[in-house]
Amino acid sequence: MKLINWIKKSLDKKGDKPSLDFFKYLGPGLLVTVGFIDPGNWASNIAAGSDFGYSLLWMITLSTLMLIVLQHNVAHLGIVTGKCLSEAVTEYMPKKIGRSILGTAMAASVSTSLAEILGGAIALEMLFHIPIKFGSCLVTVLIAYIIYSNSYPKIERWIIGFVSIIGFSFLYELWVAPVSWSEAARSWVTPTIPDGSILIIMSVLGAVVMPHNLFLHSEVIQSRRWDLHDDAVIKKQLKYEFGDTIFSMIIGWAINSAMIILAAATFFQNSLSASELQQAQSMLTPLLGKGAGLVFAVALLFAGIASSVTSGMAGGTIFAGIYGEPYDIRDKHSRWGVVISLVCALLIIMFIQNPFQGLIYSQMLLSIQLPVTIFTQIFLTSNKRLMGKYANSMRLNVLLLLIGIIVTYLNIRLLISFL
């Protein structure tokens, strides 16, 4: 409530009606939020809480702050130029370099879809004992139906509903779990690195900052129509976007935190280690009751479905941008981008013997591509020919470069640890 009041107060200038306008604007940030409460995050957060208790909650705070800066910056690109990150790469970078960047971005979208579809299939196995590969086919068909049969506003409402279900599911889990809220509060703001925790720390960060989200946010932010020739309108949109990003990222921070807190209050307190999602669900049932295990699986299913929708849309955005076009599901290039992202991911799943290893390998590919996207974004948003007076300031560039270097270093360490 304090956040909502702060947003209202900050926007209530020059006769604006923030209570109406701002809440109409909410939505693009929530689509991005889905990307970092996906099954890959679940695995990292459950491992963090079960192995190290509450002590790594500070990484959720730090990574969310870094994500706010990156997402806010790439959303500015979409608002100021009317172009998504993929379109800007095509238009403002040399053709060979731009195509190479977007080729790796499409590979990252496929890798992301692989993890999200697998997560949904794992949930179906938990709930209905459906084999992983058949469940992956079901999830893919459902995702394709949602994307192809719905306009963006409808998909936005679907995603808001999915995020709400996931959030309420974890509220229930935390209600029945014996949580030490004083210890959690200290751990949110007190950095500590327990012995043997560096791999989990890198995994948590790598699961929060994802390349496809940067492409997607710069596109979906344009769903709120505005006049690019009216400087006052652009400034107002930038202000609303910042509120939307903060509001949505805080929701993601809360859900990711809830995962670690749940694992800390149940598994860590009982000296149990959970490294796989099926294992975590099976251990919750004797500790908190059958209802807790069921709610866990249902929330995972909705997380897998929601994040698969956004990864498919990101694939459509990237592929359409290669041809200098915005995302439009009625356009053939956007449609092909969605197909490539989802179908290629499904085909790879058919050859994966170990679903958990599949999640790991998908994160490895994202680790390789992520620095490419971050530094491409910085290059474009610093370009005064593209951004005009809204180009990054020197102070912002230093902050973005610092984040890029930290994320690159930690993701390289994560990649090396997997090899």
DSSP notation for 11-25: H--TT--HHHHHHHH
Contacts of 7 (CB under 8 A, 6+ apart): 18, 22, 243, 246, 247
Confidence of residue 418 (pLDDT cuts 50, 70, 90): low
What backbone phi and psi angles, to 5 degrees, belong to 172?
-65, -45
Instruction: Determine the longest span between alpha carbons in the chain, in angstroms.
Output: 61
Q: Which two tokens stand for residue 93?
A: 């970078």
Q: How far apart are CA 376 and CA 384, in angstroms?
A: 15
Structure confidence by residue, pLDDT tens digits, 339-384:
999 999 999 999 988 776 676 677 667 777 888 999 999 999 999 9
Structure confidence by residue, pLDDT tens digits, 144-175:
999 998 887 888 888 888 888 888 898 898 89
Check: CB of residue 303 under 8 Å from CB of residue 166.
yes
Given the structure tokens 């809480």, which residue do they identify?
49
User: Looking at residue 228, what DSSP letter applies?
Assistant: T
The structural domains of the chain, with segments of one domain joined by +, span 17-265+282-418
CATH value of 17-265+282-418 in 3.40.190.10, 3.30.70.2190, 1.20.1740.10, 1.10.3720.10: 1.20.1740.10
This prediction has a pTM of: 0.86
pLDDT above 50 for 4: no
pLDDT above 80 for 208: no
Q: How far apart are CA 358 and CA 348, in angstroms?
A: 9
Q: Which two tokens stand for residue 202?
A: 């890198």
